[in-house]
Amino acid sequence: MDGQTYAVRLRDLERKIDELKEQIRRSHTRLSLLSDTILSGGGSGSRAIIRFKNDLSDAFRITRALFVLDGAVQYNKTDQSGALSDQDEIPIFNGSIPPGDHTLQVLVNLQGNGYGVFSYLRGYKFEVRSSHSFSAVEGKTVTLDALAYEKGSVTTPLEERPAVRYIEKIVSGLADSAASDSAGAPAEAQPAPAPAQ
């Protein structure tokens, strides 16, 4: 088996493993939801707080951000001035949602940002697509942070660095504050950064 075939098979296996992990997580959440519903004897809905956080270095400038929750566009902004990159946090959604499974889709377009001897970076364009499934639990608030970050190290090629990961936290009650604590364990993400030509 040559190296290219091995790499393709390895990527396919990694994708299948990620899908199995997601199915297990969903089953666990459904079980938790069912348990909570039975113990509480019903409920009063669910709430979601979704935010976008920019943790990218100055080497990248965000030119577009699109967020779709369950097929409905929640945020779509294109900006060449750099104002999107200047915001550390952007509120995407804060409201009631039906209990059950939901999907957040993210598209972030980036442009290289450099000056002086690094001005060539401005010619680089990147597109990061990612999708994250989560479950809203009856009578609870889920806080979901989509975090744009750079994976790898200084030796990682520039086009492979941009990615999105998710931090999800579920708390009891229907908190109405966007200032909810965002600390939590990072959730599985499936970013797909790709250089644009």
**Ordered domains of the chain (ranges, CATH):** 44-196 (2.60.40)
The reported pLDDT for the residue numbered 179 is 42
Q: Residues with Cβ < 8 Å from 39, sequence gap 6 or more? A: none
For residue 28, count CB atoms less than 10 angstroms from its CB and return exposed for 0-12, middle for 13-18, buried for 19 or more.
Answer: exposed
Note whether 156 and 145 are within 8 A (CB): no
Q: Residues with Cβ < 8 Å from 156, sequence gap 6 or more? A: 150
The mean pLDDT of 45-70, rounded to a whole number, is: 90
The mean pLDDT of 29-43, rounded to a whole number, is: 65
Question: What's the pTM?
Answer: 0.64
The reported pLDDT for the residue numbered 119 is 57
Q: Which one is predicted more confidently, 155 or 24?
A: 24
In the structure, what pLDDT confidence band is assigned to residue 65 with cuts at 50, 70 and 90? very high
The reported pLDDT for the residue numbered 106 is 95
The mean pLDDT of 37-60, rounded to a whole number, is: 78
The reported pLDDT for the residue numbered 6 is 87
Three-state helix/strand/coil letters over the chain: CCHHHHHHHHHHHHHHHHHHHHHHHHHHHHHHHHHHHHHHCCCCCEEEEEEEEECCCCCEEEEEEEEEECCEEEEEEECCCCHHHHCCEEEEEEEEECCEEEEEEEEEEEEECCCHHHHHHHHCEEEEEEEEEEEECCCEEEEEEEEEEECCCCCCCHHHCEEEEEEEEEEECCCCCCCCCCCCCEECCCCEEEEEC
